[in-house]
Chains A and B, each alone.
Chain A
Amino acid sequence: MRTLSEAARTLGAGRGTVLVRVLVPNLRRGLLAGAFISVAVVLGEFTIASLLNRVNLQTALLVVSKDDPYTAVIMSLLALAIAFILLLAIGRLGAERARGPRRRPSTRRRPRSKGQP
């Protein structure tokens, strides 16, 4: 990553451009995973929110859970499932990016690389 941003700088990219055009595209997978993990953690904060179980500062989640325990369980399970599916999808997307190019016929690549260097 360091060499990449240095290469970009020698090619005339300022710090902002390096971030947007080089670092973010190459770190996309990690950035997305990190973002979703944060969402999952925030959802998990419900436990703490439930400690604030006072009539005057109820959170939406608390209201739902009080109304109907079944809805509450269903919602938390759904949240868990969605987070899980998203993480799987990201993993798949990232893997495809890394693998994708290799799907091209590798037989064509060999002779060319020999003829070329």
Chain B
Amino acid sequence: MNTAHTAGAGSIVEFTGVAKEFSGHRALTGFDLTLRPGELVALLGPSGCGKTTALRVLAGLESTDAGSITINGVDISRLPTSRRDMGMVFQSYSLFPHLSAQQNIEFGLRMRKVDGAEQRRRARAALSLVGLGGLGGLSDRYAHQLSGGQQQRVALARALVTEPRVLLLDEPLSALDARVRVRLREEIRRIQTELGVTTLFVTHDQDEALAVADRLAVMRDSAIEQIGTPEDLYSRLASPFVASFVGLSNLVPDLVSDGSVVVLGRRLPLVDPSQPDGRVRVFLRPEDLELAPTGVPGEVMASSFLGSLRRTSVRLDDGAILSVRHSVRLRPAPGERVHLRLTGAAVSVDPAAVTGPARSLV
């Protein structure tokens, strides 16, 4: 295992039982997480779940109350921020307003006493890495002369130019408009893969997390609720909480028998066939349902146009409300009678025994 302090090598970061409390409010409790070399892990969760605290504790901007944080096996939890060798991008553009873009990028190199010519060379290389090279003039600009997207690109260059052991991204795209956000997240992913730098990405946007992460950790109340690859998380939901964060799901009370469930009159396989028999709630994804000429009848409650597809909520005759995703060619009107059919995809279940009508998590 390479333990050199270069970005290319990728570092192993390990949180073990980290706890942090802010005047009575527990931000992190028994937080365990291991980042493999060169991996991008996204922390996803509602505000106040502790995801930002986890990142700040790793950066050394907050101290820990308990537990240890190691990089490549060396405990860094007592090291001051300035000596942790990390690159961080903040949500609020944090470029130094009194320095030009170029000087901003050189700041970290100046702190490391890199000589002038080398500073300029590496800053230029970093600028072209984030797609701001070649156009000239930009590097002399001050933060307020740059657009939000450009500012975050410069901030990313500033964080990467020192070849940090770990890259920390604290909701870097939240302040940008939708179009720029999608483009920049793809570029962040490209650059991160190119450099192989271990990265912790904090976000509350599920699309962002699913799109860029190698692994995704959904956090709830100061601890990780579920962690896995985006595909894994999406298909094997551990709880209704995770379901509400990773795509939309309908919850249907049901009975498991022989590793399958019967939903709307059709037997569906389980993602995890080892689930013991008993009462469960089934996570039924809107794309696992379709509108069909025949099937379970219901009445359209509402239908919304989402561009490439349409989402319609349907109330079945037993009172259950299910959300279905379908082609925009069908335009059901509220009050219309429709039929729902299952596509037959495997489903995951929540073992919590709860009775009551099906509902949509929307």
Contacts and interface: CB of A to CB of B under 8 A. Distances in A.
Interface of A: 3-4, 6-14, 17, 21-22, 25-26, 101-102, 104, 109, 112-113, 116-117
Contact of A12 (B92, B94, B111, B168): B111
Interface of B: 59-61, 80-88, 90, 92, 94, 96-98, 107-108, 111-112, 131-132, 135, 138, 141-142, 144-150, 153, 155, 158-159, 162, 168, 176, 180, 183-184
A12 B145 CA distance: 26
A117 B107 contact: no
Given A12-B111, A101-B141, A116 B149 contact: yes
B132 A116 contact: yes
B241 to A, nearest CB: 30
A26 B96 contact: yes
A116 B145 contact: no
A12 B112 contact: yes
A12 B80 CA distance: 9
Contacts, number: 94
A44 to B, nearest CB: 33
Contacts of A13: 82, 107, 111
A17 B142 contact: no
B147 A10 contact: no
Contacts of A22: 96
- Top 8 closest A-B pairs, CB basis? A117-B149, A12-B111, A113-B147, A11-B108, A9-B81, A10-B88, A7-B94, A117-B180
B86 A10 contact: yes
Contacts of A101: 141-142, 144-145
Of listed B59, B96, B142, B176, residue having the most chain A CB within 10 A: B96
B150 A117 contact: yes
A10 B59 contact: yes
B98 A17 contact: no
Nearest to A28: B98
A9 B141 CA distance: 23
Contacts of A26: 96-98
A7 B89 CA distance: 8
Nearest to A24: B98
Contacts of A25: 96, 98
Contacts of B92: 3
B82 A9 contact: yes
A117 B183 CA distance: 8
B82 A104 contact: no
A12 B149 contact: no
Given A7-B88, A12-B108, 15 more contacts: A4-B94, A7-B155, A11-B108, A11-B111, A12-B82, A12-B111, A13-B82, A13-B107, A14-B80, A21-B107, A25-B96, A104-B145, A112-B135, A116-B149, A117-B153
Nearest to A110: B147
A8 B98 CA distance: 13
